[in-house]
């Protein structure tokens, strides 16, 4: 069974409630129909019920009647949600009138449903920007305790089983924080290891903090940042298996790891790679994907107390379907 199928089966084993706030968007509604047909998750659609049902009929979708539909313009919990949102944001000057308007916004409404225990995760981005997806999540759901930095991980499924976990690597940050400081980089390491467990199913994440230097082979302030981040990551999570700074070949190839970082438990055995900045991470995964033929799944947002994930506006029905399963796995882990 390949990794994607394992993720789907894990999601089916403990169905989570996933909100799709862009419910009248065609790819989203088609993906919801697939998810419901196959029992991957319970789905909450936000939108006008008449419009959603009409579109489902028009597109021949037979399973949308299994979803819960929440109408943002006619929601019996609107006042409850508005009062809570105003309370959450009162230090920022939000009034009850502003909150009443915001809880009609599907992205905010979905996060309020999660905040009040009615759902376990949310996915948007087929129509919305990353900023619009993240803003309500950070205002309402907030970050995981001990974490202040949201980041994005990517699953890389390569054709080289000798590397990572039978050819699978989890890498971060590839999506959110352009130039993390040492503390943020440490948090990215902890969160990416957690994603490796909850989504990729790694029993033993082994984290390499990447740089252009291995164990002092080069001297520069950006290397110092990675060394400091490695130390902070160990303090943040004493159980984390992490080492750095390591060059990519030292992290992945046993013979090179032995030569460049003798005695390291991670060198040559890493299955989680943490990039020193977003620029490096984004370029690297795209090169591995395009030149190395790896399958890249993500980005998977991490660091939020309950999973809220962001789609590319060019996403396919299949992308949304997979991300529902991934979000469900994150949701299970967030409750553990």
Q: Residues 167, 202: contact at Cβ < 8 Å?
A: no
* Helix ranges (DSSP H) in the chain: 3-13, 26-38, 49-58, 78-88, 96-102, 106-115, 130-136, 182-198, 221-236, 248-252, 254-260, 278-292, 317-335
Q: How far apart are CA 194 and CA 39, in angstroms?
A: 25
Q: Residues 116, 44: contact at Cβ < 8 Å?
A: no
pLDDT at 314: 87
pLDDT at 10: 96
Predicted TM-score (pTM) of the model is 0.92
pLDDT at 1: 66
Identify which of 176, 213, 179 has the alpha carbon closest to the alpha carbon of residue 191: 176
Q: How far apart are CA 29 and CA 154, in angstroms?
A: 25
Q: Residues 33, 133: contact at Cβ < 8 Å?
A: no
Q: Residues 64, 87: contact at Cβ < 8 Å?
A: no
pLDDT at 130: 86
Please state the φ and ψ torsions of residue 254, each to the nearest 5 degrees.
Answer: -55, -45
Beta strands in 111-218 (DSSP E): 121-124, 151-157, 168-172, 207-210
- Coil/strand/helix, residue 301: strand
pLDDT at 182: 97
Q: How far apart are CA 81 and CA 109, in angstroms?
A: 8
pLDDT at 73: 95
pLDDT < 70 regions, the chain: 1
Cα dihedral 31, 33, 37, 40 sign: positive
* pLDDT tens column, 198-225: 999 999 999 999 999 999 898 899 999 9
């Amino acid at each position: 069974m390949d990794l994607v199928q394992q993720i789907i089966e894990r999601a089916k084993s403990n169905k989570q409630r996933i909100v799709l706030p862009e419910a009248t968007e065609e790819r989203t509604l088609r993906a919801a129909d697939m998810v419901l047909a196959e029992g991957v998750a319970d789905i909450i659609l936000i939108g006008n019920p008449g419009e959603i049902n009409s579109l489902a009929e028009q597109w021949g979708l037979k399973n949308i009647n299994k979803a819960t539909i929440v109408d943002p313009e006619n929601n019996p919990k609107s006042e409850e949600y508005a009062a809570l949102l105003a309370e959450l944001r009162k230090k920022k000057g939000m009034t009850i009138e502003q909150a009443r308007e915001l809880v009609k916004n599907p992205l905010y409404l979905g996060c309020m449903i999660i905040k009040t225990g009615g759902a376990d995760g949310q996915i948007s981005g087929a129509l919305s920007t990353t900023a619009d997806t993240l803003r309500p999540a950070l205002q309402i759901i907030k970050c995981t305790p001990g974490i202040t930095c949201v980041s994005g991980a990517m699953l890389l499924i390569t054709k080289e089983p000798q590397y990572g976990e039978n050819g699978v690597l989890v890498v971060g940050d590839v999506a959110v924080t352009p130039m993390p400081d040492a503390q943020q980089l440490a948090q990215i390491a902890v969160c990416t290891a957690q994603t490796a467990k909850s989504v990729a199913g790694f029993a033993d994440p082994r984290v390499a903090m990447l740089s252009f230097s291995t164990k002092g082979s080069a001297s520069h302030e950006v290397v110092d940042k990675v060394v400091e981040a490695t130390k902070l990551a160990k303090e943040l999570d004493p159980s984390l298996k992490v080492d750095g700074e390591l060059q990519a070949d030292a992290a992945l190839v046993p013979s090179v790891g032995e030569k460049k970082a003798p005695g390291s438990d991670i060198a040559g055995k890493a299955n989680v790679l943490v990039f020193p900045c977003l620029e490096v991470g984004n370029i690297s995964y795209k090169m591995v994907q395009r030149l190395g033929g790896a399958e890249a799944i993500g980005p998977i947002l991490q660091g939020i107390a309950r999973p809220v994930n962001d789609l590319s506006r060019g996403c396919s029905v299949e992308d949304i379907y997979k991300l529902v399963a991934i979000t469900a796995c994150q949701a299970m882990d967030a409750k553990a």
